[in-house]
Structure 1
């Protein structure tokens, strides 16, 4: 097995040499290379380098999948070679200049929402755990019934499960200010103003309470759980802050800039942005529900089949907004239940390749990649195995559609978002674990069987893989 220094050198040579590289960064699993000319990249050579699990060009970056831990060691060797290194965020800013308008817009949306997702994942896990411990069968093990659970314990669980959504506008405004070049703390305060206890609670108004009326006709409410009003206010606020800062003398900047930004933006957010985009948000939610409620499991088939195609295009972050809305409004997420099948199925297809092939190199790539997919990360399986041979990817799509159909038919819905397959089990502890496991096993079994029978043979690897 090659050492990391040798692997780093082989990677640099295969992407066109040092003169073709602008900068190198890395994330949790991938080495990200900004190149001058992507035509100089030798894709086949890169994919056959030891420890490389796949490579693809996306978002203006050539991304080489190496896996957790390995990528850090390879990156250290690349740095020692004197190449320009940078942070992932700095490189992402440079990469944003590439791609069409939709791709740039979706990348920006991802940059805003991805930092927020971990706390929403944690909240979903708290919901799942609460659902587990509150089940009558579980309580009975301790000689208790739901009536025996103390009010203080219920209050404690509500703090865990409700806080992130109550203050979601503050998180969104903070992250949006950060992405659009404003001062994040100003965005945070603006978001907190949108959920001020002085305003009528959004959920209270939704159940019959009266909003405040300014000027006799503008309804003003708190925006607990709202996403779009905070997102738009964050964009406008960050741009406004930068304009104000350019015109204010430096000696007064500390006082005047945040004062004017917050004064103007809270008025705009409460009287204009909030009412308009809260309505838009409601229409988006209703449209999502129409799709998810299509009869005969159609939504599951469509979303389960096309999900991983959408992931390849890099525009899947747009669904973060929809999942957040579902969780905020209903406390559950049927979309997660469908797409987990798509993820599991790609793992099933890669597993079939790994078990069927006689190529030691492909086996060493496919088996760990399938396990990675079962942990919710499909890039190694997709780019390293399934897409390379074509048919396994298609069989994975079919498996995802079948699993999605089953999830839609039985009404499966998670308590959170962003984690799937094995880790996603924690989102279904409220009495849904068995059907969740069966749906995933169905998706894996269909993809595995189709790949084994029709999707792969060792004749294909002679074209792309060398032992």
Structure 2
């Protein structure tokens, strides 16, 4: 019998048996299931299994937290017992999609597009943070930056800045690649389409406003039809819609053109038609919509920053539960592309810390070794920007830690929004989040960090202790013992209470 054979058998039983499993795979720490019916899962029995550290459901997938290394062995045992074949994470996602409603499917589509390009965006954010440290005045020296005091560092900062900016300058190319793949077309054509929308011959999107007020926007004149030569640097909506159109045209052509000449006709026709439609209709319409949405958000946070910060800061954790937080990645990128900054992302970073702090408080408050281990590892993960283990494994399980994390995040969101804290890029959430904040706002952001550490930790710890006492009281603890006389070998028949109250030096008659 294998070491984890029993655990694997118990897990399968707890999730409704192998007949309830549509597909299964695993990641570094978790088993991932697409279940036919999640309502039959016995979560109490599941989380009582020794190797299981927690479980949660998100985006149609039921995930069981096991731990790094162990999860591989448990999965192998489970595969042998059930006959479930090895499948990819993508196949499990596709199987899980059947359990989603239309809104969830739309959110999942956006997540499938933006998550693959997230490493490039986060890397760019981290590098921009390093550049911020090198070029920010007042960090190391009064009113001077590091490169001003040490000019030999200036070129290094310049190279870092160029590398960091690349992902944002060519963002439509990244989105085009990922969107075309998600919609079922050629990733290469999607990338070319995205790069086409930021071609150097086009008017830079960031210069559009000044061109309108000055010399005017350059145009192509095609048989009397004027098409504006505008680039879409930093824009999200134009390339999303254009990629969908490109894939539809590509798939339409592939079904009707013989295989022998597809290479010569499909890509040129698809790109040419999509290009015309993009510059003539898709680009101008979506550019207007995107700017209107951006202006609306900016107006809200400028006119009523307290309400904006309180609501977004407080409810971001709820968005994570529904998976809708992925849609705000597109909003952040749109804000950065249009204004150079985002006021939403700093609240995301603080929300991560708040969830980690609530989980960490549970580690200090509990005596359950299994819960201690899960709370610690999930808190560290949240402090580094990944909150799902803390939220689903600990905080939502006990409810009040999650609520206190939301309260702390709301207070911090209110505070930093009133003080106009913004991020110049998307980076790593949690504690490293300050790297994406301009150095002149670090002090304010650190105060926000203190709020999301102290408030959830203190409230969660106190409540956990109170709840513990209530449970003991309901169970009759401490037990009420009524003893009148006790026969002891040395003391004879004595009142036990009087013996317990003896002080050092008291004389006790020995029979």
Q: Which residue in 2 is equivalent to 1:161? A: 164
Aligned residue in 2 for 1:145: 148
CA 455–306 in structure 1, closer or farther in 2 if over 3 Å, else same: farther
User: Which sits farther off after the overlay, 352-361 or 440-449?
Assistant: 352-361
Contact 1:131–1:431 (CA under 8 A) maintained in structure 2: no
SS in 1 for 2:428: coil
**Which one of the candidate residues 320, 327, 337 is aligned to 1:318?**
327
Give the CA deviation at 1:65: 2.5
Name the residue aligned to 1:230: 239
CA distance in 1, matches of 2:128, 2:301: 22
Higher Cα Rg, which structure: 2
Alpha carbons 1:106, 1:317 under 8 Å: kept: yes
Q: Secondary structure of the equivalent of 2:468? A: coil
Shift of residue 335, structure 1, vs aligned partner: 1.1
**Superimposed CA distance per residue, residues 215-258 of structure 1 (whole angstroms, 9 cap, x where no aligned partner):** 45432311122211111000111121111100111111222111
- 1:57 is aligned to 2:57: yes
**Aligned equivalent of 2:369, options 352, 360, 368:** 360
Q: State TM-score, norm by structure 1.
A: 0.91
Correspondence for 1:21: 21
Aligned-pair CA distance for 1:405: 1.4
Give the CA deviation at 1:132.
Answer: 0.6
After superposition, where does 1:34-433 map in structure 2 within 5 Å?
34-81=34-81, 82-137=83-138, 145=148, 148=151, 152-153=155-156, 155-208=158-211, 210-214=217-221, 215-295=224-304, 297-417=306-426, 419-428=428-437, 430-433=439-442
Q: Is the 8 A contact 2:219 2:226 kept in 1?
A: no
User: Which deviates the most, 164-173 or 375-384?
Assistant: 375-384
Q: Does 1:458 align with 2:465?
A: no
Whole-Å Cα distance in 2 between the matches of residues 172 and 36 of structure 1? 32
Q: CA deviation at 1:271?
A: 0.9
Number of aligned residues: 462
Return 5+ residue gaps in structure 2 as ranges: 475-511
> Greater RCO between the two (CA within 8 Å, min separation 6)?
1
Deviation of the 1:163 alpha carbon:
1.5
Q: Cα deviations across residues 129-168 of structure 1 (Å, max 9, x unaligned)? A: 1111113456759986279468755642442232112211
TM-score by length of 2: 0.83
State whether residues 53 and 384 of structure 1, in contact with CA within 8 Å, keep that contact through their aligned partners in structure 2.
Answer: yes
Q: Does structure 1 conserve the Cα–Cα contact (< 8 Å) formed by 2:124 and 2:164?
A: yes
Cα distance in 1 for residues equivalent to 2:111 and 2:158: 33
- Rounded to whole Å, the distance in 1 between the matches of 2:314 and 2:303 is 15
Compare 136-145 and 56-65 and name the one that shifted more: 136-145
Once residues 343 and 152 of structure 2 are traced to their aligned partners in structure 1, the CA distance between those partners, rounded to angstroms, is 29
CA contact (8 A) 2:125 2:428 kept: no
Could you tell me how far 1:45 is from its partner in structure 2? 1.4
The whole-number CA distance in structure 1 between the counterparts of 2:149 and 2:272 is 48
Distance 1:278 1:142 in 2: 37
Distance 1:27 1:431, change over 3 A: farther
